[in-house]
Each structure stands twice: as structure tokens, then as C-alpha cells.
Structure 1
Amino acid sequence: MRYLPDGVQMRSADTYTIEELGVPSIVLMERAALKVVEAMHEREIDTARTLVVCGSGNNGGDGFAVARLLAEEGMHVEVLFAGKETSLSRECAIQKKIAERMGIKIFTEIPQKEYTVIIDAVFGVGLSREITGRYCDIIRWMNGQDCRKAAVDIPSGVCARTGQILGTAFCADLTVSMACVKAGCELFPGKKCAGETVAVPIGISPDFFRSDPEVCFTYDRADIPALLPPRKADSHKGSYGRVLMITGSRGMAGACYLSARAAYAVGAGLVQVYTAEENRMVIQQLLPEAIVSCYRGYDPEQLSALLRWADTVCIGCGLGTTGASEDILLHTLREADTPCIIDADGLNILSRHMEALKKSSVPLILTPHMKEMSRLTGRSVAELAESRLDLVRKFTEEYPVVCVLKDSRTAAAMKGRHTFLNLAGNSAMAKAGSGDVLAGVITGLSAQGMELFESACLGVFLHACGGDEARGKKGAYSVLAGDLIAGIEAVLRKQDRGEE
């Protein structure tokens, strides 16, 4: 795993490194500049004619140091100083003075020249105000130049916490981030400005963030083997959990199939589908491995017996929002004593009974997309998109649940835990049934004994990696929800830990 701090969190780590560990700020700046130059060379960015655009703060100091290092390599380097002399930080003033003594050309007016690369070192992670005036003019000019573009730590104008654009923002091909990629570089729309993101070590340890649950984290594929529940040689189907899928009103057999099939695909031992009678034949034909139980309406005795049987419950995929569906959901919230994943129509029903969510003692994972989250919280989709990490954390502080907020950047949150931000996946996954597959994946992992939060995070990541596999096989347009399951199976096959 790796951390994705925001600007405030990163400044705390920086301060700790300087004041507690005793690493001088100028040393960190030198290391940052070295790593920026190294990253550009690794990607074969032509630095023969370089313009570095520097502000007055330490981000600008990094930029002046980059200019000096490139000049030492024999490159033609110039610096556009966009800041103010009266606002220079101590370290930036030192780096600017060195550059001047080396004879590097430094000017304050927008040049009428062509460059092979422009490097943005105007604002760092601390920017919180909208960019206006001369700064805005300079950044827009930078964006308009026909050359490669690189940003130091974060593109100027991108909010390090939310990814929102503060008036205007530099559009980089490459962002070289110090110690950790910042959350704002991975959240949209900031991601579109950050381009390729790479974290480089400069002496600030990412372990600093371990004790701060406000810092979010992400997974890479190399993490998967250690995260998967083990498969033991001496085991049977009961060893890997009994899943109850309360899914599928009349005509919604597809949601039943996709969620149940996905639970099996990630290793669940036994899946029982509880669905409308009209779906029986379809499910038995599509998924003969599943037990099929059916209802014609709300049957409390039958439902109670099924809940006692299950190790994990998934409710809501294609369930509908009729009176019977509402009774089934509320009954489940009252009587289940095993983990329960609530998705789709289950969430729409739940939004009318939020008091039941506070009263329920059932371990819960909610998997809303943005519109469903809007119903649960009363906030608009636009509000959620602008501050998703803050709002999903706030929701889990108010309600005792794990919340998986689905979007192009899905987040999973639980009170007292680091929030997970998923960076895998792609637009090919934006198809009907994709959410049913995710609900099944999380349920299947939970059934194997994983803790709720861990099953939610790994489920989101596996689902997204499966989407990347599916896109690689079928392209961006033709992926269907069933292809995601095949993609997940391919990921697990590649990452198989073997029997223990």
C-alpha cells in the first residue's frame, strides 16, 4: 500500500523531518531537484531548452535548484520568476541567488521563445486560494506552449486535498511528487492536469502517515497476494463461507447471477440466491453451482431461517423497492447477526429509513454510487464530487458502517481507519451490472473471514483490476459486466499464492 496525503498532511511530515529528525530544509530541496531531473531523464524528456517557472515559496526553490542542475549538465536553461521578491522563502532566496551567480537567465515577463520542456514550480501543495491575475496569465501561457510539461510536486492550481481546480491549473505530462503522490493529483479533475504521477524519495518517510487516519491510501497490484484470504490444502466448501444473496425482483435475474457468480469467482464456498420465484429457472441454468430459494412476497419465517444459515449476506442487487422488498430489508437489518453488504435498491430503501441504520447492530458495508449517496446524505452529487473524501468520512462517523462510495475514483471509509482511494479501473467498466459484480466480490471476500473494511478495500481494487484486464482483452467500448468477472479471475490466476 502507499499513502496519498494532502497538503496539510504533507507539510506536517515535512516539519517533522526538519525539526524532529534534523534534516535541513535545503537538503530536502536538493534531493527534490535531483529526483525531478532524474525522473525527466528516465522518461527521455528533452531538456535541451528548458524553461523553469518559479514562485516565491519552497516549490519555487525546488525549481531554481532544478534549473541549476540542468545548467550544470550543459542544457540551455532559463527561469521565469512568477513570484515576488518580498515573499521569497529563505530556501527559495538561497536557490535563486545561486542560480543568478551561475549566470542562469532569470526574468519576470512572459518570454516569446520556444522551449522543449516547461517545468512548473510556481505553487506547491499549500495553495488554497483561487489563482487570478498575473499568475493566471502565466499558467495559461504555459499550457498554450507546444512542448513537454512537467510539474514539481503538484501542478499549480490543483487543490492537494480535493483535486479541484483553483481557478486555473497547469496541465502536466509528468508530475514528480515528493515522498508521496498527493491525493489531489489522483482525484478528478486534478488527475487530468497531473498526467503521469511518480513519487520520489527525498528523505521524508511515508511511515509518518501511519498514525494519522485522515491520510488516505491506495493499493498496487503487487499488494494483492498478501491481501487475499488464504486457501488451505485441508479444506472444504464450508471453509470458505456461506453467502446469502437476497437479490433480484421479477425480471432482474441478471443482478442475481452477476453478484452470485462474482462471489464464487473470488473464492466463496457456497452461495444461496434468495430471489423472486420468476427468476428460478434462469438462475438454475446460468449458475447451477448456486442454491436457489425463492419468494412470492415477504415471508418472515423463511427469511429468518436463511439469515441463520448465512455467514455473510448481500442484499439489494435488483431487489426492487416494493413494499415486500422494504419489509425484507428492514427484517434483515433487525435480525441478521453476520456481515451484510447493502447495494443498489437496498440503499434506495434504506435512504427512507436512516434511523434503522443507526439502530442496527449488524456489521454493514454500504456500496452507493454518487446518486445513491446523495439520497443517503441529502447532499447533491456536485457537493459529493467536490469533497468526496471528507464527506464519506463524515458519513462513517455518523453511522457505524463501512461505506464504499463508487465513482471514477471509488473511496472506502470506516471510522478510525485510513480511507482507501482506488486508482485502478477504467471507463470501460461504466456498464449496467458492474455494481452487482462489485457487491458480489466484496461479499465473497467477507464470507471467507476477512474483516469488513479489508474486504471492501480489496473488493474494490480486485473489481477495478478485473476491469483493466477486461479492457485489455475487449477494448474500451465492448466490455460487459460479465467480462469483469472473467477479468477478476485472470487477476487472481496471475496473483495466485498457492495452497498453504
Structure 2
Amino acid sequence: MERIVTGSQMKALDKYTIEQVGIPSLVLMERAGLSVFEAMRKEGFSLKKTLILCGSGNNGADGVVLARLLHLAGYETDVCILGKPENFTKEMQKQIDIGRNYGISFVKSFHIAEYTVIVDAVLGVGLSREITGNLKEIIEELHNFQGKIVSVDIPSGICSDTGKILGCAVKADLTVTFGYKKAGLCFYPGTVYGGKIVTADISIYAMSALLSQPEIFSYTKEDLKKIQRKQDGNKGTFGKVFLIAGSKDVFGAAYLSGMAAMRSGAGMLKICTHKENRSLFSCFPEAMLLCYEDNQDITKELLENFMWADAIGIGPGIGLQEQAEKLLDTVLSHGEKPLVIDADAIGMLKGREEQLKNYPNEVILTPHLGEFSRLTGISIEEWKENPIKITQKIAKTLSVVLVCKDARTVISKENERVYLNLSGNDGMASAGSGDVLTGIILSFLAQGKEAQEAAGLGVYLHGAAGDLAAQRKGRAAMLAGDLIEAAGQILDAI
């Protein structure tokens, strides 16, 4: 897993490293400047003439260190300090004094056309207000720059917690961020403005006790090793999934979700769907079926399958009719196994919150933001203002593992860790993609993973499969079914 931090968390880690661990701030700055220098050279940027724009704080001091390293390596480098001397931190003043002793060129004005690279070391992770005035004009001028732009730690103007643009922002080709990736470099549009993002180890000390809550992590491909096949296993030991999906005239969601569950490792699958779908499932002989007719009471059969299953899922394509509501009520009233609620079933949860809270096992909700908004009354815009805290709050309120699906999906369980998914691409924004995710999560639940881990690993694998499918098909051409094949191949490779 990879740790992600907010701006305030990063400040706390910096402070502890300097004041308690005992690493001087000037040493951290030296490592920071060197990290940016090495990253620029690794990218092959033309360093014929570099301009470094510095603020008055420690982000600016990192920039002055970088200027010294470039100068000593023989590259023509200018430093322009945009902050006021009376606002200089002691570290910034020290780095300026060192830089002058080394003969660095400090300039008061510049023409961007003269440079091949411009480095943004103006504002760090502490920015909380919108950029205005002369600085805004300078940043907007940079949007016309034809060379490469490098940001130090985070592009100036990007909120370090949400990725929001605060008035205006530098749009970098490369961002070298220090210690840990900042949340604002993960969410949109911050991740776009960051360009290629490199996380540099500069010896920041991390300890959970130092951090304000919540702790934020993202899964990586290494974490998929937790999904292991036992060589002496059988179809029962790999988990039994019971999926209530599809409805009259709706087949695809049930097929995609069920197939995804099987392709990601589940040993057995039974799908409960309308009888009109029976003949369509001839293309999926591995799935068992429980079929119902209009207005048929199948409570007895449902209870039997609740007992049989290791994980239950409901929602993909079931519709919003009275019969779908009865199916949901039966699940919430009589189900006892880990449960995934998706799609249409989420649309019917309004007014059933107490049933949800009283469910005797773990529940995973997987709403896209429209479904989330309808369920909670929180607008999409409001969620985007503070996605981590709002997701965590609603997860606690509903007593569920909440998977808020967006370009950056957030997964939370009450007061525990929050997982931010960084895999996937816009090619996945097509019909059926969410159904595939439901099947993958159900598979991991049935294989014995606890709910938050099943959700986090499922979302990561779903996104990684999207990335693989995009390589093969192209983002515009890929379909939800392509994710299923890719997910299986990724697991096999791991």
C-alpha cells in the first residue's frame, strides 16, 4: 500500500522529523532540491536555461537549493523571488545567503520565452485561499510557456487536500512531491495539473500516531498478492456467490456481474433473475439460476440460498418495481452473509436506513455519485469539495463500507482507514463497468476477505483491468466485458 497525506498531515510529519527526530530542515531541503534536480535530468528536459520562481516560504527555499545544484552542474539558471523579504522564513533567508555565496543569478523580472524550463517553487501544501493579483497574472502567463514546467512538491494553486484549483494554478509537466503523495495530487483536476508525479523519499519520518485522522492509503499491484489460490482447494473453498440481478427485459447487468465474480476467482455462482432471462444464460453455463415470475413469492428459495452462499449481492439491473423492493426487503430482513448493494438496490435504500444499520453482517454500498447524492441529499459538488471526510462521515452514519465511485473512487468504513483508488481511466466510463466491479468485490468477499479489504482490492483490480484493456483496445473502444478478461489475466500474472 502507498500512504497518501493531506497538507496538514504533511506539515505534522515535517515538524516531527525536524524537531523530534533531529534532522535539520536544511538537510531535508538539500534532499528535496537534489530529488527535483535528478528527476528533471531523468526526464531528459533541456536545462539549457532554467528559471526558478520562488515564494517566500520553505517551498521557495527548496527552489533556491535546486538553483544552486543546477548552477554547480553548469546550467544557466535564474532565480526570481516572488515573495516579500519581510515574509521570508529563516530557512528561505539562509538558502538565499548560501545561493549568493555560490554566485547564483537572482533576477527581478523575466521573459518566459528566454527559458527552456521553468520551475514552480512558489507555494507549497499550506495554501488555503485563492490566488489573486500579480501572482495570478504570472501563473496565467505560464500557461503560454512552450517549454517544460516543473512543480516543487505540488503545483502552486492546487489545494493539497482536494485537488481543487484555488483561483488559478500552475499546470506542470512534472511534479516532484516529497515524502508522500499529497491527496490533492490524486484528485481531479490536481492530478492533471501535476503532470507526471514523482514521489521522492527525503527521509520524512512517518508514524500513524502523528497524523490527524483519517489515514489515507491507496492499493498497489503488490497488494493483489493477497488474493491467493490454494492448490488443494475446491469450488467450495473458493467461495459461493449468490447474486440477485437482472429483471424482465434486462439481462446484461446480471451476466457481467456474475461473470466478473467467476473470472476473479469465485468457485460457485447462483444468479437470481427473472424467468425471461433463463434462455439468455445458455451462454453462461457455469452459473446456476434461480428464476422467478412476475409477482411470484420466492422467499423460501431466497432463504435457502442465503444459507448456501458465502456472499450476497443485489442490485445490478433489478429495476425499481415493487418486486425488486420485495427482494431487497427480504435480503435486509433475512440475509446474514456479507452483502454488496449496488445500482438499482441503492436507489431503493431511502427510508430503509434502519434495516441497513441492523443488518447482522458487513455491508458494502457501491454508489456512483448520482446515486450517492440521491441517497444522502448531499450534492455532487458538495462531495467533491471534501470527498474523503464526507465519504467517511456517511459510512459511519449508515454503518457500511462505502465505495463512492468517481474518477477517483473513495472507500471508507466508519473511523478506519480511507482508501483512495488511483488505478483506472476514462475508458471505463461506459455501461456495465459498475456491474463488473460488483462481481469482483463479491468474489473477494466470498473468498473470505473482510469487507473494506474486499472493496479496496476490488476497486483497484477493476481499475487496473481498465488500464490493461485500454492498452489493448483503446479508451474509446473498450467495453465493460473487456475488464473481465483483463482482471483475470492480472490475477493470474500476480
Equivalent position of 2:384 in the other structure: 385
Equivalent position of 2:148 in the other structure: 148
Give the C-alpha shift of residue 310 in structure 1. Answer: 1.2
Q: In the alignment, residue 258 of structure 1 is paired with which amino acid?
A: L
Give the C-alpha shift of residue 220 in structure 1. Answer: 2.2
Equivalent position of 1:60 in the other structure: 60
Any conservation in 2 of the 1:6–1:215 contact (CA below 8 Å)?
no
Counterparts of 1:450 and 1:100 in 2: how far apart (Å)? 58
Q: Give 3-state SS (helix, strand or coil) of 2:230's partner.
A: coil
Deviations 1:86-121 (A, max 9, x none): 100110111112222333222333436510100000
Counterparts of 2:114 and 2:209 in 1: how far apart (Å)? 42
Give the C-alpha shift of residue 76 in structure 1. Answer: 0.6
Q: In the alignment, residue 103 of structure 1 is paired with which amino acid?
A: G
Equivalent position of 2:215 in the other structure: 215
Equivalent position of 1:71 in the other structure: 71
Q: In the alignment, residue 351 of structure 1 is paired with which amino acid?
A: K
Counterparts of 1:357 and 1:93 in 2: how far apart (Å)? 58
Counterparts of 2:406 and 2:463 in 1: how far apart (Å)? 11
Equivalent position of 1:456 in the other structure: 455
Deviations 1:410-431 (A, max 9, x none): 1111123221111111111111
User: Where does the alignment leave 5 or more consecutive residues of structure 2 unmatched?
Assistant: none
Counterparts of 1:210 and 1:178 in 2: how far apart (Å)? 17
* Count of aligned pairs: 492
Counterparts of 1:433 and 1:187 in 2: how far apart (Å)? 24
Change in 2 beyond 3 A, CA 1:434/1:112: closer
Equivalent position of 2:290 in the other structure: 293
Change in 2 beyond 3 A, CA 1:74/1:17: same
Residues 51-450 of structure 1: matches in 2 within 5 Å?
Answer: 51-111=51-111, 113-208=113-208, 213-225=213-225, 227-228=226-227, 230-283=228-281, 285-296=282-293, 297=295, 298-450=297-449
Percent identity for Structure 1 against Structure 2: 42
Counterparts of 1:210 and 1:279 in 2: how far apart (Å)? 55
Any conservation in 1 of the 2:272–2:290 contact (CA below 8 Å)?
yes
Give the C-alpha shift of residue 397 in structure 1. Answer: 1.8
Counterparts of 2:473 and 2:113 in 1: how far apart (Å)? 44
Runs of 4+ with >3 A deviation: 108-113, 205-213
TM-score normalised by length of structure 1:
0.96
Deviations 1:8-27 (A, max 9, x none): 00001111101110111111
Give the C-alpha shift of residue 212 in structure 1. Answer: 5.6
Any conservation in 1 of the 2:264–2:443 contact (CA below 8 Å)?
yes
Q: In the alignment, residue 16 of structure 1 is paired with which amino acid?
A: Y
Root mean square deviation of aligned Cα: 1.4
TM-score normalised by length of structure 2:
0.97
Give the C-alpha shift of residue 356 in structure 1. Answer: 2.4
Counterparts of 2:87 and 2:164 in 1: how far apart (Å)? 25
Q: Give 3-state SS (helix, strand or coil) of 2:229's partner.
A: coil
1:50 aligns with 2:59: no
Change in 2 beyond 3 A, CA 1:125/1:117: same
Change in 2 beyond 3 A, CA 1:168/1:209: farther
Give the C-alpha shift of residue 360 in structure 1. Answer: 2.7
User: Where does the alignment leave 5 or more consecutive residues of structure 1 unmatched?
Assistant: 496-500
Range that drifts further, 262-271 or 413-422: 413-422
Change in 2 beyond 3 A, CA 1:151/1:476: same
Give the C-alpha shift of residue 241 in structure 1. Answer: 1.3
Deviations 1:250-269 (A, max 9, x none): 11111111111000011111
Q: In the alignment, residue 340 of structure 2 is paired with which amino acid?
A: I
Counterparts of 1:209 and 1:188 in 2: how far apart (Å)? 29
Equivalent position of 1:498 in the other structure: none
